[in-house]
Structure 1
Amino acid sequence: MTVEEIHGVRVLTVPGQGPAIRGGADALDLIAASFEEQAEFVVIPVERLDPAFFTLSNGLAGEFLQKLVNYRLRVAIVGDVSAHVEGSNALRDFVRESNRRKQNWFLASRDELRERLASEVAVSPEA
């Protein structure tokens, strides 16, 4: 995993290659790594997520993301999720609602992540 600072936010990035991220136990591993690196944001490439993550009815996505939120970590799933949302209104709505908030984002690219974090800095009362 790599760590970098983007617009004042310490970001831990999961590598694109490796075992599939499946659920709660994997979330705990990311929480531990984030605490060790003092990161406040975790970036996960979409290709690292188990395909079952995108079936909302099984609860994997909810369990995974909630664990990270409980530890005040923000998450960006980065990559093309269009194949997963196609034909799933629930998932499409989940992605849309997530992107309206600050905690969990589904973004097409790291450039989009940089833009979103930059826009937060621009509107921050501390900026």
Structure 2
Amino acid sequence: MQFQLVPNFDPDVIECTAGITDVRDSMELAYACSDADTDLLLIHAGALPSEFFQLRTGFAGEFVQRLVNSRLRAAAVFDPVGSYPERFCEFLLEARRHPQFRAFDSPRDALAWLAASAVQPDAT
């Protein structure tokens, strides 16, 4: 799997650009976030296997649930003109409102949401 900290971005965000092949890879991403002391994750659609886009496989649901259970806030960037299956398009519509796993059309919008959702320290 290929992941790194997003360069020159505050707060720290782990970005995954390639290599997710199994739902258990969600744990590797959770560990990478923990090692970087962040709960913010950016995933590019190109990093996801074809099974993710076929909802009948259960990959997307289980993968997302594992990220949520790990208390990560994940933003996933999907091609806005991608030829996704109809059921997956319905999944994307729902994911545009999810509090912890949100779908976006651009990395810029995804990073803006992650920055806005970062836990701010108490100003007391």
Q: Which residue matches 1:69?
A: 68
Q: 1:13 aligns with which of 9, 12, 15?
A: 15
TM-score with structure 2 setting the length: 0.78
Cα distance in 1 for partners of 2:83, 2:61 equals: 16
- Judge conservation of contact 2:5–2:15 (CA < 8 Å) in 1: yes
User: CA offset at residue 37 of structure 1?
Assistant: 0.8
Sequence identity of aligned pairs in percent?
Answer: 28
Q: 1:84 to 1:27 in 2, by over 3 A?
A: farther
TM-score with structure 1 setting the length: 0.76
What is the DSSP-based 3-state SS (H/G/I as helix, E as strand, rest coil) of the residue aligned with 1:24?
A: coil
Cα distance in 1 for partners of 2:30, 2:116 equals: 25
Q: Which residue matches 1:28?
A: 27
Greater helix share, 1 or 2?
1
What is the DSSP-based 3-state SS (H/G/I as helix, E as strand, rest coil) of the residue aligned with 1:10?
A: coil
- Judge conservation of contact 1:76–1:105 (CA < 8 Å) in 2: yes
User: CA offset at residue 11 of structure 1?
Assistant: 1.2
Count of aligned pairs between the two proteins? 118
- Judge conservation of contact 1:22–1:60 (CA < 8 Å) in 2: no
Q: Which residue matches 1:2?
A: 4
- The gaps in structure 2 that reach 5 residues or longer are none
User: CA offset at residue 22 of structure 1?
Assistant: 2.4
Cα distance in 2 for partners of 1:32, 1:119 equals: 22
Cα distance in 1 for partners of 2:72, 2:46 equals: 20
Q: Which residue matches 2:113?
A: 116
User: CA offset at residue 96 of structure 1?
Assistant: 0.9
What is the DSSP-based 3-state SS (H/G/I as helix, E as strand, rest coil) of the residue aligned with 2:71?
A: coil
- Deviation beyond 6 Å, 4+ runs, structure 1: none
Per-residue deviation, residues 78-124 of structure 1 (Å, max 9, x unmatched): 13154343x41x21221111111221122122211233346658xx9
Q: Which residue matches 1:92?
A: 89
Q: Which residue matches 2:47?
A: 48
Q: Which residue matches 1:107?
A: 104
- Judge conservation of contact 1:76–1:107 (CA < 8 Å) in 2: yes
